[in-house]
Amino acid sequence: MWKKRLFFLLLAGVVLWPLARDEALPADAQADLPAEMKYIALTFDDGPRRGTTERLLDGLRERGASATFFLVGEEIAGSEDLVRRMAAEGHQVGNHTWSHVRLAGTAPETAEEEVRRTQAALEELLGEGTYWLRPPYGLIDEDMETDVPMVKWSVDPRDWESRNAAQVTQAVLRDARPNAIILLHDIYPSSVEAALKIVDALEAEGYWFVTVEELLRLNGVTPEAGVMYRSGRG
């Protein structure tokens, strides 16, 4: 867990740095410090799934990496321990509807119920909170009202299609940039294998793996309900 503690020390440094900088340095020194920090977010949809999700949580813990999980409500029963573990180990837990329904084009009352049921299941397990929404397929009707922030992605290796760890790893490493939000699915063994290889490769390049909420806040973005975020910059 030393990495986690180091991360929060660094986070405090980033937050406090502008105060110190204004007093001590000319304005053109701005590029010096925060630019050296590279943050990126891994997101996992469609779980939890016994076996693959457990292996992923073990691997992330060994590497001191945080991630964000968007859960399908009807998959939670029987894997409650995994969901509690996600929260306890510093990952962000979010909502991916109850039955992975395509919200766009769905009757408003059905769409709302799909989101509400998973929200209720998460609150029962983890307590009251803001459980961000990733709409399945990234699609939502423009007039659908949500009272939480929403998350899309900026890197999609289509892991569900190839189910090939080497291909998925290569595609993500090719497209990875600071502040990217990477889309993976923790229900496939190949995606879990790829995710851990991606963490190893990018940590070696100086990246820090943070949750989506942390990524936005590190960029000075205050997450707002009803807004769809695609990267750490907004």
Catalytic, out of 22, 45, 147, 156: 45
Give the strand pairing for 92-95 and 181-185: unpaired
Is 159 catalytic? The answer is: no
Min separation Cβ 58 and Ni ion, Å: 23
Span interacting with Ni ion, options 53-61, 130-138, 149-157, 175-183, rule CB under 5 A: 130-138
Residue 114 binds Ni ion, judged by CB under 5 A:
no
User: Are 123 and 108 a contacting pair, CB within 8 Å?
Assistant: no
Three state DSSP letters for 57-123:
HHHHHHHCCCCEEEECHHHCCCCHHHHHHHHHCCCEEEECCCCCCCCCCCCHHHHHHHHHHHHHHHH
Q: Which is nearer to Ni ion, 103 or 218 (CB)?
A: 103
Catalytic, out of 46, 159, 185, 186: 185
C-alpha 48/C-alpha 133 separation (Å) is 15
Is 45 catalytic? The answer is: yes
Instruction: Count the residues of the shown chain that bind Ni ion, applying the rule CB under 5 A.
Output: 3
Min separation Cβ 46 and Ni ion, Å: 5
Q: Which is nearer to Ni ion, 90 or 135 (CB)?
A: 135
Span interacting with Ni ion, options 135-143, 156-164, 206-214, 221-229, rule CB under 5 A: 135-143
Q: Which is nearer to Ni ion, 146 or 218 (CB)?
A: 146
CA atoms within 13 A of residue 102's CA, in its CB half-sphere: 4
Q: Which is nearer to Ni ion, 46 or 75 (CB)?
A: 46
* Tokens of residue 67, six digits: 């991630």
User: Are 195 and 173 a contacting pair, CB within 8 Å?
Assistant: no
Span interacting with Ni ion, options 132-140, 151-159, 161-169, 222-230, rule CB under 5 A: 132-140
Give, as ranges, the residues between 36 and 95 that touch Ni ion (CB under 5 A): 45-46
Longest dimension (CA), the chain: 57
Residue 159 binds Ni ion, judged by CB under 5 A:
no
Min separation Cβ 55 and Ni ion, Å: 19
Residue 136 binds Ni ion, judged by CB under 5 A:
yes
C-alpha 74/C-alpha 142 separation (Å) is 26
Please give the helix or strand (H or E) that residue 22 lies within, else none.
Answer: helix 2-24
What is residue 146's DSSP assignment? -
Write out the residues near Ni ion by the rule CB under 5 A: 45-46, 136
Active site residues: 45, 185
